[in-house]
Amino acid sequence: MDGLSDENKRLVQQMELEYRRKGAALSEDEFNELTKLNLKLEELEVSFQRNIDSRDEKTMFTRGELEGLPDTYFKDREIRDIGGGKKYVVSTCSADYYLLMNHAQLESTRRAMFLVQNNRCTDNVHVLNTAIQIRQEKAKLLGYETHAEYALEPHMAKTPQAAYDMLTELRKNLTELGSKELEQLEQLKRSDMHAVGKIYEGFFEWDRSFYANKLSNQNFSTNNLRCYFSLPQVIRNMFELYQTLFGVTIVEMENPRVWHEDVEMYELWEADEETFVGHFYTDFFHRPGKSRISVHNIRSGYNDETRQYPVCAIVACFAKPEPSTPVLLHHTEVEMLMGELGRVFQNMLCKTKLAKFHGCKALEQDFVETPIQILKDFMWSPHILDKIARHYKTG
C-alpha cells in the first residue's frame, strides 16, 4: 500500500475486514446461509425497535399517589373518572417516566410505574432470544467462537478478553465506592420507612433514581438551578460557545422547509462567513414516537471534485414550554445537550475525501463517545457555566 494516503490505507484495511466479516471467504452454500441469517436479524431488529417506539403504555394514579411531583406535571394532563374518583393518566414516555421515578415519594407508585415500563413490549422477549441464537449461528459460520468475538473485532478492544479485563478492573476500583453509596441510599429509605411507621423490606431498582436524586439534593442540590437553564437561553449560549471553540458562525434560516413546526434549521459557516460548512436541524420538543436526545446524520460530507455538504439533526424530547415560562432544564439535561451538540459539530466540521469516514463514522465505536464525554464535562467548569447560565427572568 505504498504511495497511498493515510485515508486510503485505512479504507483498504477496513474494506478487507468488512468483506471478510460479510462472508467474502465463504463457499457459495455458506454465503447463502449467511444471507438468510442476516435477513432474519434485520427483520428482528426492525420488529424490536418498532415494538418499543409504538408501545408507550399508560397507567393511572390519584393526585395523592403522585405526591412529590411538581404542579407543572399535572398541567394539561389527561384525567379520567374511575369509580367516582379522579385519576391522572401517566405514560411511559421519557418525559413522564423519569420525572415520576425521580420525584414520586410513594414506593408503591414508583414500583407500579417501574413494572409498567419494564413489562411493556413483552413480544420482544421472544424477538431477543431468537436474535441471540441467530447471532451465535452467524458468528460460528464466519469462523468466530462467539458473537462477542465477532462484534468486538473492529473495535479498539478487539477481543472479549480485553473487554472483560477492563470491566474487571473497573469493578475492582468502583465496588468500594458503589457499596458506600448504596449504604447511604439504603439509610435514606430506612429513615423514610421509619418516619411513616413501615418496615424496611429492602432496596429495589424502583428506589434507585428517587433516592439517588434525594442524596444528590442533600449533598449538592442542582434543582434550584433550573431557573438559570432555560432552553432558549442555553441553546443561544451554547451556540456562542461552539462558535468560539470551533471558529464558525451559526445562522438561523427563516421559513425553512421542515417536517414539523417545532423544527428549526441552521446554516453553518466558517467564521469569515465566506466558506459554507453545512446545514443542521434542531427538533427539541416531545411528540409521540420520540424518546431520548440523539443526533442523526442525514447526509455525509466529503470532498470529491466538489464539496458535498453535510446535513444532520439533533432530536430531543423536552416538554413544550408554558405560555409564560420557557422550558427549564435540569443540569443533567444541560450536560446531555452540550454533548449531543458536540456530536452535531463533529459531524458538520469533519472534512474527509470519503463519505465513509465522515464524522463519527471515522472512529471506532468504543471510542466514539470519548469526545462527547469531554464536552459534557465542560458543564462542570465554573468558567464555562458562567457563559451558559442566565436567570430566565433577570438575565
- Tens place of pLDDT for every residue, the chain, 395 residues? 778 988 889 999 999 999 999 999 999 999 999 999 999 999 999 999 998 887 788 999 999 999 999 998 998 899 999 888 899 999 988 889 999 999 999 999 999 999 999 998 888 999 999 999 999 999 999 999 999 999 999 999 999 999 999 999 999 999 999 999 999 999 999 999 999 999 999 999 999 999 998 998 887 766 678 899 999 999 999 999 999 999 999 999 999 999 999 999 999 999 887 899 999 999 999 888 777 889 999 999 988 778 899 999 999 988 888 888 899 998 889 999 999 999 999 999 988 888 888 888 777 878 888 889 999 999 999 999 999 999 998 88
- Enter the C-alpha cell of residue 126: 421472544
Q: Which of 150, 123, 124 is nearest to 136 (CA)?
A: 150
Residue 257's Cβ-side half-sphere holds a number of Cα atoms within 13 Å equal to 0
Number of neighbouring beta carbons within 10 Å of residue 365: 14
Torsion (CA) 237, 243, 246, 251 in degrees, nearest 10: 130
Element (H, E) at 366: none
User: Which region holds residue 278: left if phi is over 0, alpha if psi is between -120 and 50, else beta?
Assistant: left
Show Cβ contacts of residue 215 under 8 Å, excluding neighbours closer than 6 positions: 181, 184, 185, 188
